[in-house]
Structures are given as C-alpha cells and as structure tokens.
Amino acid sequence: MAAIETAALTKKFNGFVAVDGINLKIKKGELFALLGPNGAGKTTTISMLSTLLKPTSGKALVNGHDVVKEAAKVRQSIGIVFQDPSLDDQLTAMENLDIHGRLYHMAGNERRKRIREVLEMVDLADRADSIVKTFSGGMRRRLEIARGLMHSPEVLFLDEPTLGLDPQTRRHIWDYIKKLNREGVTVLLTTHYMEEADALADRVVIIDRGRIVAEGTPSSLKDSIGGDVIKISCSKPEELKKAMEKCECDITSEPRITEEGLVINVKKAEEVIPKIFDISAKNSIEVKSITYKEPSLEDVFLHYTGRAYREEEGSEKDRLKMRMRVMRGRR
Amino acid sequence: MIGDIYAIYLREMIRLKRSKVRLITTIVMPLLWLGIIGNAFNSAFQSSMKIDFISFLTPGIMVMTMAFTGTISGITTVFDREFGFLKEMLVAPVKRESVLIGKMLGGVTQSIFQGVVILILGLLMGMKLVNSPITAISGMLLTMFLVSMAFVSLGLAVASKMSSMEGFQMVMNFLIQPMVFLSGAFYPVKSLPSWLKWGVKVNPLTYGVDAMRYFSLGMNEFSIWLDLSVLVAFSFILIAIGSYAFRKS
C-alpha cells in the first residue's frame, strides 16, 4: 500500500484552478518533494491531503484512508508542519507538545515519554520549560517539527520547512528531516528552493500552475536533460576538438568552439576531465583552465516549462512573511 | 470528546495564567469604578434610595466586566487564526464542536472568575448581601454563567467576521459600551425618561443586572423569571450564532 496516492486530484477556487488533476504515488518510507514556484499549488495539495481543504474533484488516499470520507483516520495518522508558524507562543515547548498529545488522544505516560524523545531529537530538551516567545525562528521550526512527530505519524507533511531561515539553520533542519526519514517516517515536503529538493528528496515532482511537469529522482531529472557542460580554455582548441571527437567518452552532443573556448556536453564530467588532460598532454596542447557545471533542477524546470524559474514572483510575499516572523519573535 | 474539550480548555487556562497584565487591567477598571464613583455617590444615593451605592453598584460592575471579558475572550479566536494555532486544532483528529466548547468554557471561566473577584472587592468595600450567602452565591453564579456564555458567543460571532484586531475597538465602543450604559448597571432604571427606558428594556444586559441585584440585594425591577428567561433566550441565540459563525470560518 502506498503512503499517499492521488488520482486526478483537483481544486478550484471560484473558477481558478489551483491544482489541476494531480496523480501522485508516494511509497512508504520515501522522502518526497513537491517542487515548484510560489503559487504552483503545493500548499493547496498539502491542504487537501491533510483534510484542511476538500478536493473539488478527484481522489486522495493517505495511509489507505480517503481524505474526504475518513478524514479523522487520516488526521490521526499524519503529522504536519505548516508554512506559517502555528505554535502557541505563550505556552512553553513542553505545554505545546502536551496539548498536542492530548488532541491526538495519547495517554499521560505515553505523552511524557514521547515529549522527551521528540525534544531530544530536535535538540531542545534543555528548553522544554521555556516559553516559546523566547525562541528564535530556527528553534520554533524545530519545535514544530517535533510537534508534528509527537504522535508518531506514519506520514509527515512539511510545507516549506526552511522558508525564511538562515543558511546554517536550514542545514540543521535538513539534518533533522533526513534523520527522521531514516527512522522510517514517510516525508512529503514542499519547497520552492531547488537546492532543498536536491539535497533531501529521494524523488521529486516538479509542479507548475497546478500540473505535474516532471517526476523522478533529482539525478534522473538532471540526466534527462543531458549531462554536464565542460568549458576548456586552451592553446589549440581546434586540435583538441578533433582529438576529443575521437576519444571514447560519453559526449552527448558535438563539441563547439566558442569565445570562451571549447564547450563539450558529456554525461559525467568527472570521468571525462582526466581524459582531457591526457589527450592534451599527448598532443602538447596547453590547457589554461577547465570549468564544468552540473545541470541544476533549475535547468530541469526551464527545460520542462520553457520558462525561467519564477523565484521572483514569490519573493515579495516571502519577505513579508519573514518580516512577520521576525516581528513575532520580538513580541 | 471530553478529553478533547479539556485539552482546548487547558490551553486557555494556561494562557490566562500567563497573561497577568490582562488580569490586572481588567480588575483595575472596576476597582476605580467601585472605589471612586461608588464612594463619591454613596451619600447622595443613600439619602434618595434605601440602599448604599456600593451595594447597588457592585452587581452592575460585575455584569459590565463580564460583558467586556466575555467578548474579549471570544475575540481571541482571531488571534488563533492570525497566529496559526487554529490550524493546529483543525488538523487534529478532534471535532470542531470540541474546539468550540473548549474555547467557550475557557472564556466563561475567565469571565466568572473576574466577576467573583469584583464581588469580593465589593464585599470588602462594604457591600451588604441581603439574601443568605448560599442563595446569593448560587443565584449569582447562575446569572454570571448565562451572561458570560452570551458574551463569549457574541465575541466568537464577531471574531469570525473580523479579519484583524482593528475591528475590536469598534465592537467595544459601538456595541458593548452602549449595552453597558443602557443596562441600569450604574443607576436605577425606575425614574428614567421614557425614551431612555425603552432603550433599557430592549437591552438583554438589563435583565442580567436585574437578576444579579435580585439574588444579592433582594431588589428587582422585573420579575426574576422574566430576567432568567431573557438571559437564557439571549444566550441560546448567541450560542447558536456564535457556533454557526465559528464553524463557517
């Protein structure tokens, strides 16, 4: 049985189609990312899967339960970390978790045991009795993740888990996510950060304007648009070009000579670069510099949508959200 | 179900315990009313009525405070919505009704608690109970419960229509204040000009104040059955509106 399965899942708001017939199949234990620009329909998808919104049409099963007909069962079996903070900042970390445990019908001793476990997992055990108001943004996120895990859900939803956090804190959060996934929790995370999906996910679905445009592992997605790009600046580019054409390496398209030097598309740059050195040494060609670039998920997005990634569109809203978070931290 | 309600209620109680500033400010205003206005009018009032003004005023101030506190605590659901905690409750395997009842009981507890504090302040300042303490206290608790329920629900109904805390001041100034002023909390309604009397009579809060005076002082303008019937009806209507609005939002 899949952890999450959807069939033609669709959500319309007054005629605007936010999610347009999405089919997903997420296996148990997978770390799965929904990647897309802001407004692509990620949060709407998560809201439907977590029973906060009713689908307009289509079907979704979470842990085998229908999100419409068996909402209570779905809720009991999932944990969710919302995009916007949802802790009670007048309560202590412990109290937030305790109330959560009660809402998920956990017995008293089970609650106490689990509070210790989840707080230790996110390194907040020493702050159990501090009021959340005094927590930094990163600590709040960690506490929210701990709370999402409190009732040992089979699936954890993370909606933009590192939005507005500094790079160092972001890495820490990534470590926690990887850790809990290793412990067997299925994770569905949404992000509009390419590098986040790349660093974390087993499998990625790229969505744009409510539709799935690509699906696969991060590396298979990148491979699908044709390998790495190597640029060589050298004394005799013509000669090197001829030599390279004869060599037995996975060149994916014909080498070109540009102003920057010789450009070669290959499957795996790290295997080809040593050969370039050998060949140029044999032909006494002087290599001045070699650079290579892996295609990023950004290139994948560009490839499948024909548009550059619309990071800009969301940035205004994100800045506002970030500012609000900072203000809340001060309150 | 009971456990769920208790979880929501527990959170409200922890928040109440933490918000000392809110508790103190809601007690300071009634204290000023009783201490200054109560004493200032005491001698003038006593010569025209058979009762001292502190005794007369205390039930009125109790009702006033409960109307304010009840409405405010209903409105705090807006905070939950703005600061996201409502989502945490809505995504939990808990019925919407449990969330609603837990929040209502939390508001009612807070409101009754403040009413009792004012009663104690009034008694310390010389308020005299006419009825036996048991009758007085049980009757007043019943009245306080009905008044609190009504205003917490009113707060919930208002809150679900409000998108920010800005509307809050408006509700207080244009709805709750006039109700308090027209309730006979501060003056006897017997000798009012007829246009004003009309305003007092259509105001449900009047019957709350009247019931409080009946149970504590044994004086009443209307029959106690009328008082209680109006209060019960008023509470039920507002609970219906409040819970409908809450479920809709």
The answer to whether the CB atoms of A90 and B18 lie below 8 A apart is: yes
Average pLDDT over residues B132-152: 92
User: What was the pLDDT predicted at A330?
Assistant: 45
Q: Using CB atoms, which residue from A52, A85, A147 is nearest to B90?
A: A52
Other C-beta atoms closer than 10 Å to the C-beta of A128 total 16
Task: Give yes or no for A1 touching B (CB within 8 A).
Answer: no
What's the domain range around A253? Answer: 227-294
| Model confidence at A56: pLDDT above 90 | yes
- Domain identity same for A182 and A271: no
Our CA-based measurement puts residue B5 at a distance from the nearest CA of chain A, in whole angstroms, of: 9
| Statement to judge: residues A251 and A215 lie in one domain | no
Q: Cβ separation of B7 and A95 shorter than 8 Å?
A: no
Contact A52 B10 (CB under 8 A): no
pLDDT of residue A97: 96
Residue B179 and residue B203: Cα distance in Å, rounded?
Answer: 7
Scanning every residue of chain A, which has its alpha carbon at the shortest distance from the alpha carbon of B10?
A99
> Is residue A211 a part of any domain in this protein?
yes
Among A80, A96, A102, A135, the residue to mutate for chain B (most B Cβ within 10 A): A102
A178 plus A204 within the same structural domain: yes
Kindly write down the DSSP assignment for every residue of A110-132, as one continuous string: HHHHHHHHHHHHTT-GGGTTSBG
**Residues A191 and A177 placed together within one structural domain of the fold:** yes
* Same domain membership, residue A217 and residue A72: yes
What chain B residue is nearest to A148 in terms of C-alpha separation?
A: B88
Kindly state whether residue A310 falls inside one of the protein's structural domains: no
Q: Are A42 and A188 in contact (CB under 8 A)?
A: no
For residue A314, the model assigns a pLDDT of 47
Residues A119, A247, single domain; the answer is no
Which of B3, B4, B84 is the closest to A86 by Cβ? B84
pLDDT at A143 over 90: yes
The rounded mean pLDDT for chain A is 85
CATH of the domain at A63: 3.40.50.300
Distances (CA, A) of B182 to B61, B185, B208: 13, 8, 12
Mean per-residue pLDDT over chain B, rounded: 87
Same domain, A147 and A256: no
Q: Is A104 on the interface with B (CB under 8 A)?
A: yes
- Shortest distance between the Cα of A145 and any Cα of chain B, in A, equals 12
| B165 and A CB contact within 8 Å | no
Whether residues A82 and B18 touch (CB distance < 8 A) is answered with no
Mean pLDDT calculated for residue range B63-80: 84
Could you report the predicted ipTM of this complex, rounded to two decimals?
0.84
Distance from CA of B4 to the nearest CA of A (A): 6
Greatest extent of chain B over all pairs of C-alpha atoms, in Å: 62
What's residue A331's pLDDT?
A: 40
Domain segments of chain B as ranges: 2-248
| In-domain check, residue A99 | yes
- The reply to whether A300 falls in a domain is no
Using 50, 70 and 90 to split pLDDT, how confident is the model at A329?
A: very low
Q: Is B96 on the interface with A (CB under 8 A)?
A: no
Residues 293-322 of A with CB under 8 A from B: none
A157 and B CB contact within 8 Å:
no
Digit-coded pLDDT (tens) for A289-320: 888 877 777 777 777 776 666 554 444 555 55
Q: How far apart are CA A131 and CA A197, in angstroms?
A: 32
B2 close contact with A: CB closer than 8 A: no
Together in a domain, A29 and A131: yes
* Residues A172 and A282 occupy one common structural domain: no
| A228-254: average pLDDT | 80
Task: Give the Cα separation of A301 and A278 in Å (integer).
Answer: 35
A258 and A175 in one domain? Answer: no
Tell me the CATH number at A284.
3.30.70.260
Residues of B in contact with A151 (CB under 8 A): none
| List of chain B residues whose C-beta atoms are within 8 Å of the C-beta of residue A158 | none
Residue A191: CA count within 13 A, CB half-sphere? 27
Among A86-90, A244-248, B225-229, which stretch is predicted with the lowest mean pLDDT? Answer: A244-248
Answer whether A88 sits within 8 Å of B15, measured CB to CB: yes
Q: CA-CA distances (angstroms) from residue B44 to B121, B181, B191? A: 22, 20, 16
Averaged pLDDT, B167-196: 86
Decide: helix, strand or coil at residue B108. helix
In a domain, A289, yes or no: yes
Q: Which residue has the higher pLDDT, A247 or A45?
A: A45
> Which of the listed residues A188, A222, A256 is the one where a domain comes to its end?
A222
Residues A177, A44 share a domain:
yes
- Are A286 and A141 within one domain? no
Asked whether residue A42 is domain-assigned, the answer is: yes
Domain-located, residue A62: yes
A100 interaction partners in chain B (CB closer than 8 Å): 88, 92
B94 touches chain A (CB under 8 A): yes
Task: With a cut of 70, say whether residue A225 has pLDDT above it.
Answer: no
pLDDT at residue A326 greater than cutoff 60: no
Residue A23 pLDDT exceeds 90: yes
Q: What is the domain count for chain A?
A: 2
